[in-house]
Amino acid sequence: MSGGVDSSVAAFLLKEQGCEVIGLTMQLWPKELCGTHGARSCCSLRAIEDAKHAAAKIGIPHYVVNFQKEFERDVIRYFCSEYSRGRTPNPCVVCNSKVKFGKLLERAKILGADHLATGHYARIGRGAGPGRYFIKEALDKTKDQSYFLFDLGQRQLRRLLFPLGELTKSEVREIAGSAGLARINDKPESQDICFITGGDYRDFIRKRIKGIKPGRVIDTRGRYMGMHKGIAFYTIGQREGLGIAAGKPIYVVRLDPRRNEITVGDAAEVKGKELTAKDVRWMGKSGLERPAYAQAKIRYNHGKSACRVMQLSARRVKAVFDEPQHAITPGQAFVFYGGEKILGGGWIE
């Protein structure tokens, strides 16, 4: 329970169905730091208080579990490390697989729970094989969060419930209103990265990554274009904040942390048709017997695009898109679907 409308309604619906429900809220930051987070953060003290209030209204016990060390180790360090290596991280995916559906699921089991439920907009399906579960898109495609859940394993999936998967956001708000959850019903949506308080990740990593140095910016022909402020402050496809007058729109095309160098190019040069992805997690099956045609996302807010996926090894794939894609970014998740069902996903190399 994050203190928001989605997780509160999920708890309410399960209680209405006759389940024995307890509410768990993760405390991810020290209390003195939690107090600095705004209303859009699921890490704030206000969020914990709202979760307690919702649990009391629903009539279920509520506990706060402290995962400060785990969050720092598994999410924050990964986040900073990826940027320092010239990659763009996706902390929500990692938080889901390691903290929310890792440590929190373990804690739920200790408390005697059969399942862990959340307010995610996604659905769980079961394949023809024994125990082969998979994630599929939510009914409400505008709120679908399946992309963030691709890295969950079978042991996790068989214990999870997503009560909102068949509902739209408007229906969820209506349920919250009728359930008397007015305090949380009109709260703003939580921000994408809960621990970035000022809206700019650069301020966050500047305090945590040592040795960030300026370096050369070149174009795709190797010509000097100017200086950058540090590899960690840029990402593939970035256009704003380059500080280079080129007489036309230019974008970050490549990051080279070894040489501390950034390559920029025009709109055509930032597009690509191929990628490789590692650490692939398969859903519903153990791999591809032959190349498969799929619809894939290369980032959360990127529409699905047609591609051909070829398995290179047990946990590595190559994808060739029908049309060039803007800013294929190392470090981001590549998730490929067959219809609404996730076939698999991995990390772009």
Catalytic status, residue 194: yes
* Positive/negative CA dihedral, 333, 138, 273, 287: positive
Residues in the chain: 349
Catalytic status, residue 80: no
* Strand spans (E) along 87-237: 116-117, 122-126, 133-137, 160-161, 215-219, 224-228
Given a contact cutoff of 8 angstroms between Cβ atoms, the answer to whether 92 and 79 are in contact is: no
Catalytic residue among 42, 43, 92, 95: 95
Q: Which residue in this structure is represented by tokens 């785990």?
A: 70
Q: How many CB atoms lie within 10 A of CB 290?
A: 6
Which of 274, 294, 298 shows the shortest CA–CA distance to 284? 294
The alpha-helical segments, DSSP class H, found in 160-313 are 169-178, 182-185, 201-206
What's CA 149's distance to the chain center, in Å?
8
d(CA 231, CA 235): 8
**Burial class of residue 297 (count of CB atoms within 10 Å of its CB; 0-12, 13-18, 19+):** buried
Catalytic residue among 42, 92, 194, 307: 194
d(CA 328, CA 348): 8
Given a contact cutoff of 8 angstroms between Cβ atoms, the answer to whether 199 and 38 are in contact is: no
* Positive/negative CA dihedral, 193, 194, 195, 199: positive
Catalytic residues: 95, 194
